[in-house]
Amino acid sequence: MQTPVETRGRVLSVASEGVPLIKTGGLADVVGALPGALAKVGWDMRVLMPAYRALRPRLNELDEVWFEPSLFGGDGRVMAGDLDGLQVMLLDAPHLYDREGGPYGGPGGDWFDNARRFAALSWVAARLARDGIDGWKPNILHAHDWQAGFAPAYLSYGGTGGVASVMTVHNIAFQGWAPAQALADLRLPFDQFYPGALEYYGGLSSLKAGLVYADRITTVSPNYAAELMRPEFGMGMEGVLAQRAGAVTGILNGVDTDVWSPAVEPVPYTAKSLKGKAANRAAFCAEMGLDVPGPLAVLVSRLTDQKGIDLLEICIPEFVAAGGGLAILGSGDALMEAAMRRLEARFPDRVSVRIGYDETFSHRLFAAGDAVLVPSRFEPCGLTQMYGLAYGTVPLVSLVGGLADTVINASPAALSAGVATGIVFHPVDATAFGQALRQLVKLFANKPVWMQMQKNAMKQSVGWQASAAAYAKLYADMLA
């Protein structure tokens, strides 16, 4: 029987999405996984997110714990309880969230009032943190990305009630911009509209507000934390972050190793015996009609410029000529989807493309692939390379963000020491990516070296244990 862990503190996590309830990207994985990981080290975290239309049927499983009759244009209430193992608070405000489409937009694009929709979420988060609910009052308010950026500001303006705040940047490219004329509508004080506070290039940014007013700032990898203070990565926020450098910490994300593990795949395997991986590869190639004598690379990604997808059409033909193959799963920019289709049409027995996303198929790719390609131009943390490590699917990655923090390059020194876990290239251009693919072919041909790299990769710790410990230390330091 497991000994109960003494509670060290309480955290209200506020975000726009979280698994298993709603997901559009990696943010949801972090928000959903962190409470369970923190519980093991004594922190009680509950998650506040909007009650989107898809979640409304679940509201009757929860209890009403808070009500505001005029919440940015209509009534709002908070429903709390356990949903699928997650202690959650859903903000039920139909005028803001009961819409057909995703969390941020519908068929016509982003919702016109997203600034108001997520300001409301932040407003409620600050009030719940300050006042507590049903005998539960957090010590810390943890805001995630621009959707929760105003929460530390509202908490500061209304009095913190003894609650500290932390702002996590998952992707600085999304900044929550709004015009200056929205100040009153968003319940923000006019006297705080200046460059050192709310003003951002003549308008408002909820992300900037969080960076200015939060007690501490985290990003999702140490290297990304350093990158964000430089113009080429900071996207206009580098000055704000550099000014608050002493409050910034980079903490790597983790992955759910109960779900992302080759030991639970239909043909399981471990680092001690990779026979199952060979069987997965053979079955996958047979099903997809692929004949690949060299390394089978996989790519599971949004098909966008940020992810370096444009480099594939330039470099993959030479990789194929050298014996390599490629299986792609993803969607995104229409031009890049078309480019991937052209590769498939050109090399039908070496390249397979599936447009869209399928979690089960994604698992199959990692179980079958020899290498996973992540040629991103920027990558705050990245989960794909971590899945690759867990599956012995050797990551080939660019030297940015969390990719640089998690993959040990197959340099001569690392290979000699027997510690390499992948291939890292820089800069992010076709020349460097092409050279990395050539190195992949050569390493794959050296079976003892390749097997050692696979085993090294699978020994890496990619779960939430270390990350949860780092967050727990951050919280404890904030309360000290």
pLDDT in tens, 44-71: 999 999 999 999 999 999 999 999 999 9
- CA angle at 133 for the pair 190 and 79, rounded to the nearest 5°: 90
- Pairing type for strands 248-250 and 203-205 reads unpaired
Return the pLDDT at 3.
58
On whether the pTM is more than 0.85, the answer is yes
Mean pLDDT, to the nearest integer, of 455-472? 96
Neighbours of 25 (CB within 10 A): 13
The answer, yes or no, to whether residue 26 has pLDDT greater than 50, is: yes
Strand order in the sheet with 203-205: 177-178, 203-205, 199-200
pLDDT at 108: 87
Round the average pLDDT of the chain to a whole number and report it: 96
Report pLDDT for 5. Answer: 72
Phi, psi for residue 59 in degrees, rounded to 5: -60, -30
Amino acid identity at 471: Y
Q: How far apart are CA 374 and CA 382, in angstroms?
A: 9
- First-residue to last-residue Cα distance in the chain: 32
Q: Give the pLDDT band of residue 2 (cuts 50, 70, 90).
A: low
Q: Is 432 helix (H, G, I), strand (E, B) or coil?
A: helix
How is residue 229 written in tokens?
A: 């203070």
Mean pLDDT across 205-226:
97
pLDDT of residue 1: 45
The first and second tokens of residue 340, run together, are 């991937």
Confidence of residue 357 (pLDDT cuts 50, 70, 90): confident
